[in-house]
Amino acid sequence: MSANWQATNGAIFNLNTNGLRKDGDTSGDAAGFPMFSALVRYDECERGMVEHACRLVVVHSRKQHIYPATHHAGFVAATQTNYPAMGQRCG
């Protein structure tokens, strides 16, 4: 059995910057965020303090994005506020 590679989508990301994408553009996390700036680093864990936003994954999100997110990929109506929007901050 031979493997056949297929792609339905493609994007180029400049990994030399943490700058935001244009509104409507996706990224590797679907919200349009820079890839590395929201990850917890080892030195932060060692220090016992993380002083920036962190990434989290949810099963369902709504069709809405809030700055600094630049993209949404949810299938839940934007009016369903019991589901998070991409980029939503928690208190």
Average pLDDT over residues 44-58: 86
Asked if residue 2 is part of any domain, the answer here is: no
Domain count, the chain: 1
Q: In the predicted model, is pLDDT for residue 78 greater than 90? A: yes
Average pLDDT over residues 22-31: 74
pLDDT at residue 60 in the model: 92
pLDDT at residue 87 in the model: 85
Q: Is the dihedral of CA 12, 16, 22, 25 positive or negative?
A: positive
Give residue 41's domain range.
22-91
pLDDT at residue 40 in the model: 86
Q: In the predicted model, is pLDDT for residue 73 greater than 80? A: yes
pLDDT at residue 82 in the model: 93
Rounded to an integer, what distance in angstroms lies between the CA atom of residue 5 and that of residue 24? 27
**How does residue 43 score in pLDDT terms, banded at 50, 70 and 90?**
very high
Asked if residue 58 is part of any domain, the answer here is: yes
Asked if residue 1 is part of any domain, the answer here is: no
Asked if residue 8 is part of any domain, the answer here is: no
Alpha carbon 64 to chain centroid distance?
13
Give the alpha-carbon dihedral of 58, 61, 65, 66, to 10 degrees: -60
Backbone dihedral angles phi then psi of residue 85, each to the nearest 5 degrees: -90, 155
Asked if residue 15 is part of any domain, the answer here is: no
Asked if residue 54 is part of any domain, the answer here is: yes
pTM of the model: 0.60
Asked if residue 48 is part of any domain, the answer here is: yes
pLDDT at residue 17 in the model: 76
Asked if residue 16 is part of any domain, the answer here is: no
